[in-house]
Amino acid sequence: MTAILVPIKNFVKEDFICKCGCGRFNMDENFLIRYQAFRLIHGKPLTPTSGGRCIKHNKAEGGVKTSLHQCETKKATAVDTTGDCAKIYKDACACGLFNEIEWHKNDGKNFVHLGWDPNQKGLDYKII
Ligand SMILES: [Zn+2]
Ligand SMILES: [Zn+2]
């Protein structure tokens, strides 16, 4: 089977680089295709606020050791996103492109974590 090539037209590499200043970019290509597909389904702008994170930055952000954002020992498969969070959460839960979705609503942060965990069985959707 040949690889399916999808242009990532709404985002640039810089959107997903580790925010600590280390410049690390190690996003999973298939995840970026999911994210782009979600942008098309959602139909409104998405602003990625955190994509890949080196181990140090992931720790500083309070991310768990097994975080899908961690991109030093594996490719990252999560992006924190702002925009119309209520619609992002609703569309993300409906579309089936992600199996880890967390709307940080009640903690005052207001972003939606969109992730794909290849080892996870079932869906993990929650409002935090
Ligand atoms: Zn970093
Ligand atoms: Zn996240």
Phi-psi map region of 21: left, alpha, beta (phi>0 left; psi -120 to 50 alpha) = left
Q: State in Å: Cα 113 to ligand 2 middle.
A: 4
Residues linked to residue 70 through DSSP beta bridges, in sequence order? 53
Which of the ligands is closest to the CA of residue 50? 2
Q: Which residues make Cβ contacts (< 8 Å) with residue 44, sequence separation at least 6?
A: 83, 84, 87
Nearest ligand to the C-alpha atom of residue 24: 1
Distance, CA 70 to ligand 1 centroid (Å)? 9
Q: Whole-angstrom Cα distance, residue 125 to residue 80?
A: 14
CA of 22 to the centre of ligand 1 (A): 4
Domains and CATH numbers, the chain: 13-120 (3.30.1380.10)
Residue 71 CA to ligand 1 center (angstroms) comes to 9
Joined together, the tokens standing for residue 9 give 């037209």
Measured between alpha carbons, how far is 51 from 26 in angstroms, rounded to an integer? 9
The residue among 53, 123, 64, 58 whose CA lies nearest residue 93 is 123
pLDDT digits (tens, 9 = 90+) for 5-31: 778 999 999 999 999 999 999 999 999
Q: What is the pTM of this model?
A: 0.94
**Nearest ligand by distance to the CA of 78:** 2
pLDDT, tens digit, 9 for 90 and up, residues 33-90: 999 999 999 999 999 999 999 999 999 998 898 999 999 999 999 999 999 999 999 9
